[in-house]
C-alpha cells in the first residue's frame, strides 16, 4: 500500500492568517507523523514537535538552534544534504528513510516527508515517523516499483521517462549507472543486509533525481536516473561506491560506471 503523504503546505497570506495556517499545517501533519521539525535555510532547527526527548535526550525547546545534521547518523549526513537539495529544487521530498542518532549508540531509521517553502522564510517543514520497510508495489498511477529500493522497474520507468524529460526541458539529463560487482556483493550478504543495501542505494538515486522520484532499477546492479545540471555524476558514483563498500564484509571497492 502506498504511504499517504503528510498535509499539504500552508497557503501563506499574512499576519494572523499566517500563524493560523501554520498551526493548521502542524496539526494535520501529526495525523501522519510522530515528529515534526521546522528548519531554516542554514539547516538549524527553529521548531520541533513530538517525543524527541525519548530519542535524542533533548526537549523540543532544547532542540531549537541545533543543526539538523547533528541529529543525523554520520553515514547518512551526505544523504540528508542531497535530500534537502531535492526540497530546494522541487519544493518537496517524500517517502524517504534516514538514520538518526538515538541515545547511546542507537541508530533509528525514521521515514519522513516535507516541504521547502519560500513564503515562510525559506524554511523546511519535515514530518517524520518511525520507519517502516518500503513495500514497493503499484503506485497510484499504476506504475510498478521494486520492493526494497523503491525505484521504478524498467517498464514503468519507460512509461514516465518522456514526461520527465519534457518537464525538465534542456536542464534534464538521463544517466545510466552500472555496478558490475553487485551480484557478487549480494552473495556475501544475508537477506536483511541485501534489503538494506537496496534501500540505501535507492534512496541515494532518488535523492539525486530531478524530483526525488525519477530513478529506476533496470536489472541487478543497473540503474538509471533523470537529473539536473546541478548534479555531479562523479560525486554520485563515489557515494554509491562508498555505500557498497560499507555493506561489504570484505570491504572491497566496487567499480561504479556512469554514462550520461
CATH superfamily assigned to domain 137-259 = Reverse transcriptase/Diguanylate cyclase domain (3.30.70.270)
Task: Write out pLDDT tens, residues 120-177.
Answer: 788 998 988 875 544 444 444 445 666 667 788 888 887 767 666 555 556 778 899 9
The C-alpha atoms of residue 99 and residue 15 are separated, in whole angstroms, by 37
CATH superfamily assigned to domain 15-130 = PAS domain (3.30.450.20)
Q: How is residue 189 annotated by DSSP?
A: S
Question: What pLDDT is recorded for position 163?
Answer: 63
Q: What is the pTM assigned to this prediction?
A: 0.65
The C-alpha atoms of residue 56 and residue 22 are separated, in whole angstroms, by 25
Those residues with Cβ within 8 angstroms of residue 256's Cβ, 6 or more apart along the chain or in another chain: 177, 178, 179, 237, 238, 240, 241, 244
Average pLDDT of the chain? 80
Question: What pLDDT is recorded for position 1?
Answer: 38
Give bridge partners of residue 97 from the DSSP assignment.
Answer: 111
> Chain centroid to CA 52: how far?
20
The C-alpha atoms of residue 240 and residue 225 are separated, in whole angstroms, by 13
- Split at pLDDT 50, 70, 90, the class of 2 is very low
Q: Would you say residue 184 has pLDDT above 60?
A: yes
* DSSP codes of every residue in 191-252: HHHHHHHHHHHHHHHHHTSTTS--EEEEETTEEEEEEETT--HHHHHHHHHHHHHHH-TT-P
- Split at pLDDT 50, 70, 90, the class of 183 is very high
Question: What pLDDT is recorded for position 170?
Answer: 61
Task: Write out pLDDT tens, residues 186-233.
Answer: 999 999 899 889 988 988 888 888 777 788 899 989 999 988 888 889
Those residues with Cβ within 8 angstroms of residue 28's Cβ, 6 or more apart along the chain or in another chain: 6, 7
Task: Write out pLDDT tens, residues 195-205.
Answer: 889 988 988 88
Q: Would you say residue 19 has pLDDT above 80?
A: no
Question: What pLDDT is recorded for position 138?
Answer: 41
Count the alpha carbons within 13 Å of 70 in the hemisphere toward its beta carbon: 12
Ranked by mean pLDDT, the top range of 25-34, 82-91, 243-252 is 243-252
Q: Would you say residue 71 has pLDDT above 50?
A: yes
Domain boundaries, the chain: 15-130, 137-259
Give bridge partners of residue 99 from the DSSP assignment.
Answer: 109
188-195 contacts: CB < 8 A, separation 24 or more? 188/248, 188/249, 188/250, 189/247, 189/248, 189/249, 193/247, 194/148, 195/133, 195/148
Answer with the residue of higher pLDDT: 32 or 183. Answer: 183
Q: Would you say residue 72 has pLDDT above 90?
A: yes
Amino acid at each position: 500500500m502506498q504511504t499517504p503523504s503528510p498535509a499539504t503546505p500552508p497557503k501563506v497570506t499574512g499576519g494572523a492568517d499566517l500563524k493560523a495556517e501554520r498551526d493548521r499545517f502542524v496539526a494535520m501533519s501529526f495525523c501522519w507523523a510522530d515528529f515534526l521539525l521546522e528548519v531554516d535555510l542554514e539547516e538549524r532547527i527553529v521548531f520541533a514537535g513530538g517525543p524527541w526527548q525519548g530519542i535524542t535526550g533533548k526537549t523540543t525547546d532544547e532542540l531549537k538552534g541545533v543543526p539538523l545534521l547533528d541529529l543525523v547518523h554520520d553515514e547518512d549526513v551526505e544523504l540528508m544534504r542531497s535530500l534537502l537539495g531535492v526540497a530546494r529544487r522541487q519544493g518537496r521530498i517524500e517517502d524517504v528513510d534516514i538514520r538518526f542518532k538515538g541515545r547511546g549508540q542507537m541508530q533509528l531509521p525514521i521515514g519522513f516527508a516535507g516541504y521547502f517553502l519560500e513564503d515562510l522564510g525559506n524554511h523546511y517543514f519535515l514530518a517524520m515517523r518511525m520507519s517502516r520497510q518500503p513495500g514497493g508495489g503499484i503506485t497510484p498511477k499504476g506504475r510498478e516499483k521494486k520492493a526494497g529500493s523503491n525505484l521504478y522497474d524498467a517498464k514503468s520507468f519507460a512509461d514516465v521517462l518522456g514526461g520527465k524529460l519534457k518537464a525538465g526541458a534542456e536542464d534534464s539529463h538521463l544517466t545510466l549507472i552500472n555496478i558490475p560487482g553487485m551480484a557478487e556483493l549480494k552473495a556475501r550478504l544475508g537477506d536483511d543486509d541485501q534489503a538494506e543495501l537496496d534501500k540505501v542505494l535507492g534512496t541515494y538515486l532518488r535523492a539525486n533525481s530531478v524530483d526525488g522520484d525519477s530513478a529506476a532499477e533496470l536489472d541487478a546492479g543497473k540503474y538509471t536516473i533523470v537529473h539536473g545540471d546541478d548534479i555531479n555524476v562523479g560525486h554520485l558514483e563515489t557515494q554509491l561506491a562508498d555505500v557498497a563498500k560499507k555493506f561489504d564484509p570484505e570491504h572491497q571497492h566496487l567499480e561504479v560506471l556512469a554514462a550520461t
